[in-house]
Amino acid sequence: MRVVPVLVSADNYAYLLIDEPTRKAAVVDVLDVEKVQAVADKEGVSIVAGITTHHHQDHSGGNKACFDVPAKTHLVEDGGEFTVGDNIHVRCLATPCHTKDSICFHATDTSIKSQSGGVFTGDTLFLGGCGRFFEGTAEQMHASLSKLAALPDDTVVYNGHEYTAGNVAFAKTIEPENPAVGRLFKLAQENKVTTGLSTIGDEKEWNVFMRLDKVAIMQATGAEEPGAVMNKLRELKNNFRG
């Protein structure tokens, strides 16, 4: 299994999820079909499926042009499973909040049992951040991120946008003494493309939205109950101009 990020706009990522033995690939969140197809051609793979994390145009907008289908053909549900090629197993994780239909996809290579694979998180989980609560509540986002936190720590995170620099700048105002935030800052400084460079374990160390029970974060928000902490963090991030 190999994952190739494709920057399809200023900060939007699509991905090719490639089953190398069969040279078959699924495209995650296609937007710019020409850019994705060009990368597929360069990689020598055939696109056989499209996977969409949520209905927003910047994630589903290329489906019709790429596959000559509407925005969706098969509606997946929490716990659903499917395969890409012969070796990639994908499990669906419902993560409502950013949108009601937000789904994350945990992909593993069945031929390599020792690896935990990767998770495509759309606009639910970003490196060092999370999505806005457009169609849900703080409690739902907490539940969704907690579901992702239950994945193996070495699961690689492939998110929907390149927001890492802004996220870490915000994190430094909330948890300035956290050394992991310093590591994320260094990562963002040294890499223009940060997706795929973080794991679920990393996010639990440096993502303030996954650390609601930490004293520094409760102090920064003036709240203790997880939903209230999450709600205040999102409010602070929405208004952050650092």
For the annotated catalytic residues, the residue numbers are: 54, 56, 58-59, 98, 123, 161
Amino acid identity for residue 113 in this structure:
K
Q: What is the Cα–Cα distance from 163 to 189, expressed in whole angstroms?
A: 12
Length of the chain in terms of residues written? 242
Q: What token pair was written down for 160?
A: 């929907």
Q: What is the CA radius of gyration of the chain?
A: 17
Contacts of 33 (CB under 8 A, 6+ apart): 62, 65, 66
| Residues 151, 119 contacting (CB under 8 angstroms) | yes
